[in-house]
Amino acid sequence: MRPFFTLILTAALCFVAGYTIGKKHKPYPIAPAIEQAAAVPVSEPAPIPAPIPETRQPTAPEVIPQKPTEPERFAARALQAEITLTDSIARSLVCELLTATEKHLKVRRKSDNRIVEVPVTMLSQEDQAFAAYLYKVEQEKQLPASISDADKIWDELLKGM
């Protein structure tokens, strides 16, 4: 019974306090603001201008940069003066590339300028693919340019002249 009595007494005190404070501090009058707004003369609304036809400016198509393909990455890497090779257990070797064979890469170590042959099987997967690309490029450089059939025919026709 005591908590109920305390609750009722607290509610009564809050009501009396709110009533007393509300009487002392009257709220801002709302009605005069409406009267002032009514006293302001209303002018004619401004005419709405005719809509301007939209002209679309030609825009350049958005270019999405593409990731370089594997041969493009390898070609760019082969042109570098220094390359870093990584083996299968994440050790790295900073070197200058000299030649590539099917099973070895001949490189010059930057740490002591010593020429070393590195087995391709010892390299990481990405570096093995890079070594295969280098070997393929070296093979293409060594092949003589083959003569096309059209060139052979022209050579036969112009042989007697």
Number of Cβ within a 10 Å radius of residue 105: 25
Q: Which class would CATH give 70-142? A: mainly beta
Helices (H), 25-124: 31-39, 70-78
Contact, 76 vs 68, CB < 8 A? yes
Q: What is the pLDDT of residues 66-125, one digit of tens each?
A: 777 888 888 888 888 899 999 989 899 999 999 999 999 999 999 999 999 999 999 999
pTM for this model (two decimals): 0.49
Amino acid letter, residue 76: A
Place of tokens 């025919």: 153
